[in-house]
Structure 1
Amino acid sequence: MSKKKQNGFSVFMQEIQQELRRQGRNVPMRDMPTLAGPKWAQLSDARKQAYQAIAKGDSSGAQGYTRTQGPGPGLNSASRPGPGRMDATGVLLSSKRDFAAEMTERRSKEKELIKSALPPGRAAANESFFFVDFQSLCEMSINGEKRYLPCEVALVEFSLVSGVKRKLHKFIDPGKIPMGYRYLAQSTSDTTHQIPIAEFEQAEKDYRKLLGEIENFLDPNWTEKMPPVFSKRESAERCEWCLAWLADKAGVMNRLDKVYEVDALLGLFSGHLDGKAMSFFQIDELLKTSIYDFEAGTRCDFHEEKETKFCSLGVCNIYTFVAAECLCPKFGVSLTSAHLPKLSVGGTVTTFKMKTPSDEVARDLDNEDYPDSDDDLRPPSPLTFGRGRVLGGLGRGNLIKLPKVGGLRIHEQ
């Protein structure tokens, strides 16, 4: 019987299997694809090509890779790109990625896309944006990957001219809690959002229905293009994961696979007219403000009653409050109760004055920056990011004109 032809992945599996044996773990080859698959996906293209070259018997294709462990069966020990050392979780040190560099590159691309999409001058004040947030029962680490148990979602549509235009808020049934995480889920709930970890009567169990509501909120006129959604920098990854989880539970393709950073959006908007953009650190300090955390009407009814600030709707509302405080003065837009919480003082709208890191936030602009006519403030035809129709869109509302980019990803192979 002829020997089964090897490929790069089979060579890689043998490498991993050998290393595991040296660690006292005897894993049969039939189980290796499940174990080695995620590690193979993390390898660079050059690393994969080296393994492919060895599988074909071409040692020249593996130049630059030297064996650091014992040879596997039938392999050329002089040219094998052995796995090298592993960390405590069994991940090859040589295959680890530079996530910081990847995130820097991603953010740079995001800024360029948003910057190129914004209309010139004060017309940008008429554009609508969608803010999103998810609450989770807890953060888990399963097979080395971050995972969550989504239990609440909120989206808010906002523009500088109109303020908050629409809101969507839902609780989510997170499903069965994985073994070993029930205590963490209960502890997280008790100390943050206080959403019951099981049998919550307000939680939506029909994931397809929930995803449909999100889609119709973003795209009520079925324009077949998705507007971008924004969340705070440290929340974007969680929101992306939760959207993917929701699509998987609904049994449909995930087209809302990208969440952009509201930090970048505010930074670009702050310098849109005069080029004097606020720094990331200034924006981060503003987004950390606590002056709105317990303002009446900011959170959902459940969290208002619980008197906790950990509410997805409250988080999205605070994004709009910060945007209004920072940007409306620059664009000559008057603040109303649609922009900031309303205080009962003589029936008028009284706003908080946030302590901004830069006096430039409220700087008056020359009259020449204003459009010559109302036509300049008319919202353009909506064009958005994405891969076609997703659960969402905006129809004829005021959307950011964002070009279709064919699925921008955080981790590109």
Structure 2
Amino acid sequence: MAPKKKKNVTNGFTMYMLEMQREISEQEGRRVPIPQLVEVANPQWKALSADQKAHYNNEAKRHKKGPKNGPLEGQGNKQGARSTDHRMDTTRNYISDRVSVADQLRERRENEKKLLTQNWPDGKGVCDRKFYFIAFQTLCKLPNDMGYLPCEVACAEYTLRNGIKRVYHRFLRPDPIPIGYRYTCKSNSENTPPIPIEGHEDATGIIRSLRELVAFINPDNHRVTPAVFCESAQRGMVEWSLKWLSERAGISNSLRKAIEVELLMTQLYAHVEEVSHSWSMLSGMLGDSKWDHMNDTRY
């Protein structure tokens, strides 16, 4: 009797691996097949809390209830076979799994552009629209995709007409410093407004910090949380830190993505002036030293 064909299994662990697959694709420009992710994802999955696992289990249930559900992206076909292109690059990754980072970024910006401007009022009405700008301070960036050590978060509510209206700021309790990184963390802390690398008296608990941040950005508890913005050069760190907050707090929330502030600026210019400005020019404006922090500055 011929062996039965294995069916694609959709469960919480599958959804967790698919999320990891998307993140690797966005950050490194390559698509890692699900079978290769199992060994890496399994220890991290086991370390998640019950509430964190429940988030992914619920996603799997929603997928199963959806109409005509076939294999999820990344699970492959019924035979479990990959494409006919078996060529590998020098890092032993399949060439057919390689993803163009530029194409992905271009597609993401187009989608965010539509999402950003679809409800803008005509003309100068956009001057009263609230925008939320977020930033994190980290002790250091860790190697091998281990992420960062966030220690501070700030968010500002801003309108073009009135400028900064409200500010949220909290010191965070970072994860334990890995062996060999204490000096790096101490140096980074001393080169910025000094933040103790351990035992910060004013640090706020992660659960409280996340709940306060969500309440600050979405005070009226709308179904859709307003978008948050950050500089393009900081987006990877900001999005990693937002995910870290959610996972450490064990609370599912919609604060997972940030939109590049340069994209917001291009759309604002186009909205009121019908002219375009180059991305490099806008990045240069944001990096101008006149925006640097100065003591006794009032907003």
Normalised TM-score (structure 1): 0.53
**Kindly tell me: are residues 260 and 245 of structure 1, through their superposed partners in 2, closer, same or farther at Cα, counting changes over 3 Å?**
same
Aligned: 1:196 with 2:196: yes
Q: State whether residues 248 and 254 of structure 1, in contact with CA within 8 Å, keep that contact through their aligned partners in structure 2.
A: no
For 1:3 and 1:125, how far apart are their aligned partners in 2? 65
Q: State whether residues 263 and 284 of structure 1, in contact with CA within 8 Å, keep that contact through their aligned partners in structure 2.
A: yes
For 1:265 and 1:271, how far apart are their aligned partners in 2? 10
Residue from 86, 99, 102 that aligns with 1:100: 102
Q: State whether residues 154 and 169 of structure 1, in contact with CA within 8 Å, keep that contact through their aligned partners in structure 2.
A: yes
Question: How many angstroms does 1:155 deviate by?
Answer: 0.5
Q: 2:160 matched to which residue of 1? A: 160
The correspondence of residues 366-377 of structure 1 with structure 2, limited to 5 A, is none
For 1:187 and 1:2, how far apart are their aligned partners in 2? 63
Secondary structure of the corresponding residue to residue 166 of structure 1: strand
Question: How many angstroms does 1:93 deviate by?
Answer: 4.6
Question: How many angstroms does 1:54 deviate by?
Answer: 5.4
1:171-193 CA-to-partner distances (Å, cap 9, x unmatched) read 11102123343333223223334
Residue from 33, 40, 49 that aligns with 2:38: 33
Q: State whether residues 135 and 150 of structure 1, in contact with CA within 8 Å, keep that contact through their aligned partners in structure 2.
A: yes
Question: How many angstroms does 1:291 deviate by?
Answer: 1.6
The correspondence of residues 170-209 of structure 1 with structure 2, limited to 5 A, is 170-204=170-204, 206-209=205-208
Structure 2: which amino acid aligns with 1:252?
I
Question: How many angstroms does 1:284 deviate by?
Answer: 0.8
**Kindly tell me: are residues 178 and 91 of structure 1, through their superposed partners in 2, closer, same or farther at Cα, counting changes over 3 Å?**
farther
Residue from 53, 74, 90 that aligns with 2:79: 53
Secondary structure of the corresponding residue to residue 117 of structure 1: coil
For 1:32 and 1:222, how far apart are their aligned partners in 2? 36
Residue from 121, 142, 145 that aligns with 2:123: 121
Q: 1:404 matched to which residue of 2? A: none
Secondary structure of the corresponding residue to residue 105 of structure 2: helix
1:344-398 CA-to-partner distances (Å, cap 9, x unmatched) read xxxxxxxxxxxxxxxxxxxxxxxxxxxxxxxxxxxxxxxxxxxxxxxxxxxxxxx
Secondary structure of the corresponding residue to residue 277 of structure 2: coil
1:202-256 CA-to-partner distances (Å, cap 9, x unmatched) read 222x211111111221122333431111111111221111111111111111311
Aligned residues: 246
Secondary structure of the corresponding residue to residue 151 of structure 2: strand
Unaligned runs of 5+ in 2: 10-35, 44-71
Structure 1: which amino acid aligns with 2:76?
Q
Question: How many angstroms does 1:146 deviate by?
Answer: 5.3
Unaligned runs of 5+ in 1: 10-30, 39-44, 56-61, 69-83, 299-336, 339-413
Residue from 104, 127, 136 that aligns with 2:138: 136
1:270-303 CA-to-partner distances (Å, cap 9, x unmatched) read 12123013221211110011123143345xxxxx
Aligned: 1:257 with 2:259: no
Structure 2: which amino acid aligns with 1:199?
G
The correspondence of residues 261-410 of structure 1 with structure 2, limited to 5 A, is 261-298=260-297
Q: 2:20 matched to which residue of 1? A: none
For 1:238 and 1:66, how far apart are their aligned partners in 2? 34
**Kindly tell me: are residues 53 and 177 of structure 1, through their superposed partners in 2, closer, same or farther at Cα, counting changes over 3 Å?**
same
Secondary structure of the corresponding residue to residue 266 of structure 1: helix
Structure 2: which amino acid aligns with 1:108?
E
Q: State whether residues 267 and 277 of structure 1, in contact with CA within 8 Å, keep that contact through their aligned partners in structure 2.
A: yes
**Kindly tell me: are residues 178 and 162 of structure 1, through their superposed partners in 2, closer, same or farther at Cα, counting changes over 3 Å?**
same
For 1:202 and 1:283, how far apart are their aligned partners in 2? 35
Structure 2: which amino acid aligns with 1:33?
V
Question: How many angstroms does 1:107 deviate by?
Answer: 1.0
Structure 2: which amino acid aligns with 1:233?
S
Q: 1:65 matched to which residue of 2? A: 84
Structure 1: which amino acid aligns with 2:112?
E
Question: How many angstroms does 1:36 deviate by?
Answer: 8.3
Secondary structure of the corresponding residue to residue 139 of structure 2: strand
Question: How many angstroms does 1:200 deviate by?
Answer: 1.6
Question: How many angstroms does 1:102 deviate by?
Answer: 0.6
**Kindly tell me: are residues 54 and 288 of structure 1, through their superposed partners in 2, closer, same or farther at Cα, counting changes over 3 Å?**
closer
Secondary structure of the corresponding residue to residue 102 of structure 1: helix
Q: State whether residues 243 and 254 of structure 1, in contact with CA within 8 Å, keep that contact through their aligned partners in structure 2.
A: no
